[in-house]
Structure 1
Amino acid sequence: MLRVTSLSSYYGKIRALKNVSLHIKPKEFVSLIGSNGAGKTTLLNSIMGHIQKKEGEIYFNNTDITNLKPEKIVNLGIGFVPEGRRIFTDMTVEENLEMGAFIIKNKDKIKENLEFLFDIFPILKERRKQQAGMLSGGEQQMLAISRALMSSPKILLMDEPSMGLAPKVITELYEKLSLLKNAGLTIFLVEQNAKIALKYSDRSYVLENGRIILQGKSSELLQDNELLRAYLGKEYKEKWER
């Protein structure tokens, strides 16, 4: 479904990604782990067309999207949840979700998507008329994910979904992602929290200094104590939101 081949991405003259190659099959849950500054966000931004200076190829469902603009990439069926959620805090929960459906013209489909997501995230249905900025950190992340899913993407890309959240909330969030995966959604996320990503994903890649240095089944990588010690994150701190 998604294939990245020999991708190098640049910020000016600085090469942030170095010949990165990976693939994601339909209905897979794939994670990319690595410490802070490894290039994880750069990879997602390259796929989404936010970084134009790059070499290599990016294909989605056999379509070359390497040099496409972000809006065209979204229209092809790639949903994106950026780091930090970036919800519209002054709008209600429901208004945020409606904003996510801007490419859907069929009102019945929008209603169908809304009801599906309310089934997955019942707290959002309960608070649909509440201002989004009043939600807890975990609820805001659920809203950010749901907003991206309102456009009916074929694959969902997420950047650090567990950032700033308490362990209990992180587990709840990943359980919801598992439900979405079981419903047929393809998921590709980047995480600094290696342990949780490896626990729930099917396969994983390890990124270090802009290069893929390891890949394999997540269940096997989860048994590698040295890997966890190195990539659970030197920047990890016991600080989170509800």
Structure 2
Amino acid sequence: MLRVKSLSVSYGAVQAIMNVSLHVSHGEFVSLIGSNGAGKTTLLNSIMGIVPPKDGEITFNGDSIASYSVHKSVKEGLALVPEGRRVFPNMTVYENILMGGFTRSSKENEEKAEEIEEMFPVLKERRSQAAGMLSGGEQQMLAIARALMSRPKMLLMDEPSMGLAPLVIKDVYEKLAGLSKSGLTILLVEQNATMALKYADRGYVLENGRIVLQGSSSELLGDNEVKRAYLGKEYKEKWER
């Protein structure tokens, strides 16, 4: 479905992504893990058409999309849930949801919004409330709901666990797992390797703008280097004994 081949992205003289290749098949849930500054957000932004690539290829359903605008990428079936959620705080929850359907008619948006509110009952309860008054977890659900309004074939998720409490993170990931089981293809980038790999089918590890490891989630969770670098202090203490 999505294929990235030998992709390089630069910001002026700074090369953020170097010769990255990955693929996501239809219906897969794939995670890309890496530390802050590894280039994860840049990769998603390049796929989405926000940041143009310097070199390489990006194809989606067989079509080259490397030169697509964001608007065209959305029409082709890609949707991005950005890092930090970025809801419109002074607009109501319902108005935020409708913003995701900018490529559709008002009638289509009303019908889709009703369907999405059934998927996210907390948003239906708070539909008239200002989005800025929601908790962090509720705002993340709202950002996902807004992205679903465009009826995407593939959802790009950027750091969904950022700033959220552990129980809330679990709720967000279970919602993503449910969407994946319903047939939605997901590419997710995360620093929280434990959660990302627990729910994903496969994973890639990005370091300093390069893919350094790939494999099934179980393989990566069992890899000592992944454990050392991404699975936190608890693992480190056990490893040093």
The 1:151/1:233 distance shift into structure 2, 3 A limit, reads farther
Whole-Å separation in 2 of the counterparts to 1:195 and 1:30 = 13
8 Å CA contact retained: 1:195, 1:228: no
CA RMSD in angstroms comes to 1.4
Aligned residues: 233
Matched with 1:80 is 80
Whole-Å separation in 1 of the counterparts to 2:157 and 2:201 = 16
Show the 5 A alignment for 1:133-148.
Answer: 133-148=132-147
The 1:23/1:169 distance shift into structure 2, 3 A limit, reads same
CA drift of 1:221 comes to: 1.3
8 Å CA contact retained: 1:87, 1:144: yes
TM-score, scaled to structure 1: 0.93
Show the 5 A alignment for 1:50-199.
Answer: 50-105=50-105, 107=107, 109-199=108-198
Deviations 1:188-229 (A, max 9, x none): 010000000000000100001111011111122122243133
CA drift of 1:41 comes to: 0.6
Whole-Å separation in 2 of the counterparts to 1:197 and 1:163 = 12
AA aligned opposite 1:135? L
CA drift of 1:67 comes to: 1.3
8 Å CA contact retained: 1:21, 1:212: yes
8 Å CA contact retained: 1:9, 1:55: yes
Secondary structure of residue in 2 paired with 1:85: coil
1:205 and 2:217 aligned: no
Whole-Å separation in 2 of the counterparts to 1:217 and 1:112 = 38
Q: Percent identity?
A: 66
Secondary structure of residue in 1 paired with 2:51: coil
Whole-Å separation in 2 of the counterparts to 1:55 and 1:233 = 34
Whole-Å separation in 1 of the counterparts to 2:120 and 2:33 = 26
Whole-Å separation in 1 of the counterparts to 2:5 and 2:21 = 4
AA aligned opposite 2:65? I
1:47 and 2:42 aligned: no
Whole-Å separation in 1 of the counterparts to 2:180 and 2:103 = 23
8 Å CA contact retained: 1:35, 1:232: no
Unaligned runs of 5+ in 1: 235-242
Whole-Å separation in 2 of the counterparts to 1:129 and 1:106 = 18
The 1:65/1:34 distance shift into structure 2, 3 A limit, reads same
8 Å CA contact retained: 2:53, 2:66: no
Deviations 1:57-97 (A, max 9, x none): 00011111111111111111100011111111000000001
CA drift of 1:15 comes to: 1.3
CA drift of 1:53 comes to: 4.5
Secondary structure of residue in 1 paired with 2:156: strand
CA drift of 1:112 comes to: 3.6
Whole-Å separation in 1 of the counterparts to 2:55 and 2:42 = 13
Deviations 1:108-153 (A, max 9, x none): x323422332222110111111110000000000000110110101
